[in-house]
Chains A and B, each alone.
Chain A
């Protein structure tokens, strides 16, 4: 049973470019959340997708957008990259969106994005 898979594992971009990160949730999960983890910090919530819609959003600019597909996989898009966007981007999947699903939130290994 595959867990949460993310691709690519590493990515290097330059300022102003656009990037797309991908996530496949754990089998049986229908909800995908994205987090940004800067070096030496804890993960910060970007947004959550359920039923192909953005359900919750953290304090991130509109340059950060996402999508969820009918098979529950998800993409995170970042436009007009800034140096400060360099971070580990984590995808987490779960079943449903209720508070009781927190214990069943599974994280992928992340995509390390470097913006030069």
Chain B
């Protein structure tokens, strides 16, 4: 079945640093999405990408849809303590059947 490989699995960063995480797939997706999940909550959409090569920003977050449609990355600039959480990439071929990665756990040293 489809699988998304997300890396790194976890990371500690210093407040103010930039963060980068990525996601690769063995399958092509038409949509890539990035979610953040806080403890005890469901995932919340951060950025949605619909076109190969697309680069989209949402505040301090920037994500890109890879040209091959098999990968995506998410960058967070100038990290702050509230960026702590689990970040998931997700791909979709059609409809709302999303395939999720295993997540990147972000911990910030204040």
Q: Which residues of A contact B (CB under 8 A)?
A: 4, 31, 33, 35, 40-45, 48, 55-56, 58-59, 90, 92, 94, 97-103, 105, 107-110
Q: Are B30 and A99 in contact (CB under 8 A)?
A: yes
In contact, A105 and B96 (Cβ under 8 angstroms): yes
B63 within 8 A of A: no
Partner of B96, one of A59, A102, A110: A102
User: Which residue on A lies nearest to B43, using beta carbons?
Assistant: A107
Residue of B nearest to A93 (CB): B96
Separation of A100 and B33 alpha carbons in the complex (Å): 12
Complex-state Cα separation, A35 to B98, whole angstroms: 9
Given contacts A99-B30, A102-B31, contact A56 B95 (CB under 8 A): yes
Chain B residues closer than 8 Å to A110, beta-carbon distance: 41-42
- Bound-state CA distance A91–B95 (Å) is 15
Instruction: Flag whether B67 is at the interface (Cβ < 8 A).
Output: no
> Interface residue tally of chain B, by bracket?
20 to 34
B7 CB–A CB distance under 8 Å: no
Which one of A33, A42, A48, A98 lies within 8 Å of B90 (CB-CB)?
A: A42
Which residues B2-16 have CB closer than 8 A to chain A? 4, 6
- Whole-angstrom distance between the Cβ of A13 and the nearest chain B Cβ: 20
Q: Which residue of A lies closest to B1 (CB)?
A: A59
- Whether the pair A42, B103 counts as a contact (CB closer than 8 A) is yes
Asked if B96 and A48 make an inter-chain contact with CB atoms under 8 angstroms apart, the answer reads yes
Residue B55 at the A interface, CB < 8 A? no
Nearest A residue to B40 via CB reads A109
Give the shortest distance, in Å, between A45 (CB) and chain B (any CB). 5
Q: Which of A40, A45, A55, A92 sits near B42, CB closer than 8 Å?
A: A92
Whether B44 pairs with A44 at a CB distance below 8 angstroms is no
Return A6 CB to nearest CB of chain B, in Å.
8
Most buried by A among B30, B95, B101: B95
